Amino acid sequence: MSTIRVEDDEAVRTITLNRPERRNALVPEMMDELAAALGEANTCGARVVVLAGEGESFCAGLDLAVLREMGGMSAEQHRVEAERVARMFRALWECDVPTIAAVQGAAVAGGTGLATMCDFTLAAPEAKFGYTEVRIGFVPALVSAYLALQVGDKVARGLMLTGRMFGSEEALRLGLVSEVVPAANLQERVAALAAELMRNSPESLRATKRLLRAQKAGGLAAALELAMDANAASRETADFKEGVASFIEKRKPVWGG
């Protein structure tokens, strides 16, 4: 693993996003490695998975270098990359082992998706969240399928259409965060929650997660297919190209309308 760190300790698998110099921003290698590490959690004997970020940020969303490269991709390549993102989120959603996110700092766009899709999301007061894709002409396509299940349609629309950032206390009120924990106590609280979960029947926990997924499976599968199409299509729009250019050049975007 070159972009994440995986540590197995007494049936707790800790997966740490390990690109602190880039605020743990997502690149294709990280998405593939995350999907693999989460998939292995179902068979490696782990009873709890902890998802964390190295350094001050949890995950800053897509890396700027990835955004730059998108301008030269074909439609087929855009579809392949959309499927890669979907595979990463699906691996987290389909993990049979209880998952805990430890969010110490910013979790933006896809990073918000990773943090809030876990079964439990413990966040420091300093943590920030946001589905900011519309600010750069992108579509929060794949996270939208999961977000609407978590908070309902009206709240999901408000978060995704404004693209605004919000803090951990608001995320707690919305149901995207389970607990707000002082940063100094975050790791201790994660360990305590993991220990609490491991006192329960591991097969019952797995069966419960499978049941909850099955109850939503039909609608979610269709939503993800639509989301992959929307993700790939949005990468080819003039607004996306202008949004990325303005972001790189640190200026206000000029939308074509």
* Residues labelled catalytic: 133
Going 200 to 206 to 210 to 213, the CA torsion angle's sign is: positive
3-state helix, strand, coil in the chain (%, to 5): 55, 15, 30
Which residues make Cβ contacts (< 8 Å) with residue 63, sequence separation at least 6?
Answer: 22, 25, 26, 27
Q: Residue 119: which of 19, 223, 210, 26 has the closest Cα?
A: 210
Which residues make Cβ contacts (< 8 Å) with residue 28, sequence separation at least 6?
Answer: 66, 81, 84
Which tokens sit at 131?
């589905």
Which H helix or E strand runs over 48?
strand 48-53
